[in-house]
């Protein structure tokens, strides 16, 4: 039996403007982006690399600045989801210390941005 949904008030953005919540939003949005990207990624890999002619055409396309930028954003999404996820695994299975939380978030954000920059600036 499901509990009935009763008319209630809900929170708005004023209750959400703190670091832990922002981390949640980043993790969820990056997860959605990656989940939507993956089927396309698998398709492109299987097509572009089993058909050599299509491969060259594809490579030309990926050299366009807009595509490079999109790739960098994807790398950022992947790195952010990884860093945030590792933080969560730590909190849930290693332990929670209140004084580590802000530091953990800062480290996660730093690692994600560093990866994206390493990729984006070399591309």
Partner 1 sequence: MTERERAGARGTLPVRIWRGGADGAFQQFDVPRRASQTVLDVVVHVQRHVDPSLAYRYACRVGMCGSCAMTVNGKARWTCRTHVDAVVAGGMLEIAPLSHLPIVRDLVVDMAPFFDKWAAAKGQFTPTATRRDPFAKVAPASPARRAIDATIECIGCGVCYASCDVVGWKPDYLGPAALNRAWTLVNDVRDGAGVTRLRAIATDGGCQCCHTQQSCTRSCPKHLSPTASIAGLKRLVAHAAMKGTL
Partner 2 sequence: MIDATLAVRDESLRAVRYAVWRFVLQRGSAAVLALCVVVHLATMIYAVRHALTAGAIVARMQASVAWPAFYTLFVVAVAIHAPLGLRTIVDEWLGLRGPVVDVLLACAALVLLGGGLYAVASLTA
The site for partner 1 (CB under 8 A) is made up of 2-16, 18-21, 23-24, 27-28, 88, 91-93, 95-96, 98, 101
Q: How many CB atoms lie within 10 A of CB 80?
A: 25
Answer for which of 20, 21, 24, 28 binds partner 2 (CB under 8 A) is 28
Nearer to partner 2, 22 or 29 (CB): 29
- The structure tokens listed for 88 are 């969560």
**CA-based nearest residue to 28, from 20, 92, 102:** 20
Q: Confirm or reject binding of residue 92 to partner 2 (CB under 8 A).
A: yes
Closest approach, Cβ 111 to partner 1, in A, equals 18
Q: Confirm or reject binding of residue 61 to partner 2 (CB under 8 A).
A: no
Answer for which of 73, 86, 91, 107 binds partner 2 (CB under 8 A) is 86
Q: Alpha-carbon distance 71 to 116, whole Å?
A: 9
Nearer to partner 2, 92 or 99 (CB): 92
Q: Alpha-carbon distance 59 to 40, whole Å?
A: 16
Nearer to partner 2, 42 or 69 (CB): 42
CA distances to 46, 58, 75, 85 from 81, in Å: 25, 27, 10, 6
Residues in the chain: 123
Closest approach, Cβ 112 to partner 2, in A, equals 10
């Amino acid at each position: 039996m499901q509990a009935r949904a009763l008319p209630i008030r809900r929170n708005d953005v004023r209750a959400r403007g703190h670091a832990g919540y922002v981390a949640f939003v980043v993790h969820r949005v990056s997860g959605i982006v990656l989940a939507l990207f993956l089927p396309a990624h698998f398709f492109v890999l299987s097509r572009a690399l089993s058909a050599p002619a299509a491969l060259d055409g594809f490579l030309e396309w990926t050299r366009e600045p807009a595509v490079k930028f999109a790739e960098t954003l994807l790398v950022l999404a992947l790195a952010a989801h990884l860093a945030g996820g590792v933080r969560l695994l730590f909190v849930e299975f290693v332990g929670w210390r209140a004084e580590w939380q802000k530091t953990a978030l800062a480290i996660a954000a730093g690692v994600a941005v560093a990866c994206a920059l390493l990729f984006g600036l070399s591309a």
